[in-house]
Structure 1
Amino acid sequence: MKKVVKEYFIITLGVWFIACGINFFLVPHNLAAGGLSGLAMVINNYVPALNVGIIMIIGDIFFFIIGFIFIGKSFGIKTIYSSLMLSTTISILQWLVPLSQPISQDILISLIFGILLSAFGMAIVFNHGAATGGTDIPAKILNKYFHIEIGKGLLIIDFIVTMMALVAFGPTTGLYAILGVIMNGYVIDFIIDGFNIIKRVEIISRKSNEVQKFILNELERSATIYRAVGAYDQNEKDVIVTVMGKKEFLKLRSFLKTNDPEAFIITHNVHEVLGEGFNSIIE
């Protein structure tokens, strides 16, 4: 139960980052950088009585109905929660903190901060097995019926939204929106990679047994032992190979510094590890 509460708290935190990026930086400059939020900005331009948050709530409900009809019950509770929470949060922010003018008059600065905040929030949400709904659903429909990859489907939909923004807000704002779509994809991937980096560690130590016990008992990780021969002295040595998180690696390095400062260590950054103790191979 505690794990579930923590997970939903982190997802909620991610949603607030997205909402702040959209509400305080993208919306004031009409930077419709794809997605349901971008579509909501375009509609808001023609129907000012409806704020962006309300339009997103209506859009979420519409897309969920379409999704249930064409895809089936494949939406996770987390996705439904995060998508409705995002549109509700934006609506609350627009009510609590109405902006009479943009925080910064510089459209590029606003684009950068808006994309950084929203991409960071999206990375948090995606990293915890949820999504922000909206235009993800049409992308899944394109994938199911036309065999278009989801990434390409999202790009098509985001491109359509930015073209609508170009018509609604003019070529300069529209081109900035296209730049925002490109930036968003790269930043999300970069942040998610940073969250999920795992260390692959190779250790040659004179105290091999002690190192193995530390990895097994203190770090609660496993390891693979290879027998190798040193080219210089022709002596047999154990090569301990293991994978672990960044915090665990710091503990291991501290242990080796104290117990065998002459140990030889090679580390690699690994972006994905599947199997026991890590992510499951089965999605």
Structure 2
Amino acid sequence: MKKAVKEYVLITLGIFLVAVGIYYFLVPSDLAAGGVSGLAIVINKFFPAIPVGLLMLGMNIVLFIIAFIVIGSNFGAKTIYSSLGLSAMIWCLERIYPISQPIVDDLLLQLLFGILISGIGMGIVFNQNASTGGTDIIAKIINKFFHIDIGKSLLLSDFLITLAAGLTFGPKIGMYALLGVVINGLVIDNVIQGLNVCKQVTIISEKSEEIKKYIIEELGRGVTIYDGRGAYTGEKKEVLMTIISRKEFIRLREYIKELDKRAFISVSNVHEVLGEGFTEIE
């Protein structure tokens, strides 16, 4: 229960950031950088009386109905919550603190800040095994009927939306929107990697028994032991290997520093760890 609450809190934070990035930076500059939000920006140009948030909400509901009929019930509660929640949150921002013109006159700044804020939010949402829906659903429908890979279908749907932006708002806006799609993907990937990064630590020490005990009892992590032999001395050594979080690594490093200043420690970043004690394999 506690884990589920934490996941939904993080998803809510993520969709709030996405909503802020879209509504306060992308919408005022007509930057339709893919997704249902981009399509809503294009439609809003022709029907300005209908708010972007309401358009997104309506399109997401329609897409979910189509997806359930065409694809099947392969959409989890978290995806439904985040996609409909994002639409509702943008609609609320339009009501609570509306904005009618860009914050700054620089189109590139509007694009970069909008993509950066919304990309961080999307990364948080995706990291909780959820999705903001929209384009993902369109991509799956394209895949179902035209047998195009999901990745290519996703790129195709985003490209078609940015193409519509170019035809609606002019080639300059269209090119900026396409640039936004590319940057958005890079931001999301880096956020997910940053959130999941752990440290793989290899330790060779005369005090391996004490270090092993500290890792298991104090850090609550597992240790793998290898039998090693020094090439120069021929002396047999125990090699300890563990995967821990960044905070745990700082604690372990300080402990080893006090225990054995001659210890050999090798550290590398691991961008994703699945299994007991980390992210569950789903």
Tell me which residue corresponds to 1:224. Answer: 224
Residue number in structure 1 paired with 2:135: 135
Letter in 2 for 1:37: S
Kindly, what percent of the aligned residue pairs are identical? 57
Measured after TM superposition, the shift of residue 26 of structure 1 is: 0.3
Question: Relative to 1, partners in 2 of residues 1:170 and 1:103: Cα closer, same or farther, differing over 3 Å?
Answer: same
- Tell me the residue number matched to 1:26: 26
Q: In the alignment, what sits opposite 1:63? A: 63
1:78-136 Cα offsets, whole Å, 9 max, x none, are 01001111001101111111213211110000000000000000000000011001111
Distance 2:101 2:156 in 1: 31
Alignment of 1:1-283 (within 5 A): 1-281=1-281, 283=282
Deviations 1:224-262 (A, max 9, x none): 111111123221111101112212211111111121122
Q: Distance in 2 between matches of 1:91 and 1:59?
A: 13
Distance 1:117 1:147, change over 3 A: same
Aligned length: 282
Deviation at 1:273, TM superposition (A): 2.3
SS in 1 for 2:228: strand
SS of equivalent to 1:152: helix
Task: Find the aligned partners of 1:247 and 1:153 in 2 and give their Cα distance.
Answer: 40
* Runs of 5+ consecutive residues of structure 2 not aligned to the other structure: none
> What whole-Å deviation, never above 9, does each CA across 1:256-276 have from its counterpart, x for those lacking one?
112112211001111222333
How far did residue 43 of structure 1 move? 0.2
**Are residues 251 and 148 of structure 1, via their aligned partners in 2, closer, same or farther at CA, if it must alter by over 3 Å?**
farther
SS in 2 for 1:231: coil
The offset of 1:199, in angstroms, is: 1.3
Q: CA deviation at 1:145?
A: 3.9
Contact 2:29 2:101 in 1 (8 A): no
Opposite residue 16 of structure 2, the aligned amino acid is W
> Quick one: distance in 2 between partners of 1:94 and 1:262?
61
Q: Deviations over 1:169-220 (max 9, x none)?
A: 0111111000000100111111111111121111001100001101111111
In structure 2, distance between residues paired with 1:279 and 1:144: 30
**CA RMSD between the two structures:** 1.2
Q: Matched residue of 2:7: which SS?
A: helix
The alignment partner of 2:254 has SS state of helix
Question: 1:198 and 1:148, CA in 2 relative to 1: closer, same or farther beyond 3 A?
Answer: farther
SS at match of 1:239: strand
Contact 2:28 2:102 in 1 (8 A): yes
C-alpha separation between the residues in 1 aligned to 2:222 and 2:145?
A: 44
Cα distance between partner residues in 1 of 2:80 and 2:166: 30
* SS in structure 2 at match of 1:28: coil
